[in-house]
Amino acid sequence: MKSLLSFVLMLILAGCGTRNATTATKSDSKSMLKTDRSAAVSDTVYSSPAGVTDTIIGAWRIHLRVEPNELVIDPKSDYPVRDNSAFLTLYYNNKLLCKDKELRTKTFVGKEGVCQLQGVAPLLTTDNTLYLQAWDCEPETDACWNMLYCYTPGRKPDLYVLTMEVGDEESDIINSLDEFMTLYLHQKKVAQPTVEQLKPLFEQYLRSPLISRLLAGGGHADDELILQGHSPLTMRWHCGRLRLTATPPRRPP
């Protein structure tokens, strides 16, 4: 861990007029699932509109349906609201892995009755793992859990808490750096992948020169560059995404 903290990180903020597709998907998923006061289940209980994601990413086919369930949060308040469940149907190489697997608030934060599951969306897929991002929030507040749900066939799902800083671009950098390192370290834990197998992750967070350098090194070149921190890494915020690149080591005089 000390080597991870030894990165020399330079913050270079670059403005960008458009968001990329990944950022838009996550943001739109959250806004679509925000509580709608006009969608009343009864005169006193409110619910969120249902949402469906049906997509193919590489060898994965992902069908997610998010809809209100039977649990009412704070039923005696002026604004009681139904919690939501996500139902996951998943195929890998056309093989069914799970069908309508229910994911609830207790799946992500361990208890129910306080937070509402407000969104679930694919964050990343690799050749062995599907990563879902979920948001559980206290209704009508900014008090939220930002969770990473990792589904690897043959393994019990893993769950991580991600940072959720808000306010400015520096907050976005912190969030994205935490995303990258959590995804990266989880992949190293479950599979000991080569840099070629890590390419989908690298393409989402790293800049092209660094990806080319890693691929040219082959094997586990990332161990030296990222884990051991032999080269300083520079962070750049570009088009709504974190971009990491390596600074070439200085030559001795």
Per-residue pLDDT of the chain in tens (253 residues, 90 and over written 9): 444 434 333 333 333 333 333 333 444 444 444 444 444 444 689 999 999 999 999 999 999 999 999 999 999 989 999 999 999 999 999 999 999 999 999 999 999 999 999 999 999 999 999 999 999 999 989 899 999 999 999 999 999 999 887 777 777 888 888 999 999 999 999 988 999 999 999 998 888 888 888 899 888 888 877 876 544 555 555 555 555 555 554 444 4
What's the CATH superfamily of 46-166?
Answer: Protein of unknown function DUF4738 (2.40.128.510)
Alpha carbon distances (Å) from 154 to 98, 128, 157? 12, 10, 9
pTM, two decimals, is 0.75
The residue extents of the domains of the chain are 46-166
**Residue 93, by phi and psi: left (phi above 0), alpha (psi -120 to 50) or beta?**
left
Q: Residue 8: how many CB atoms within 10 A of its CB?
A: 10
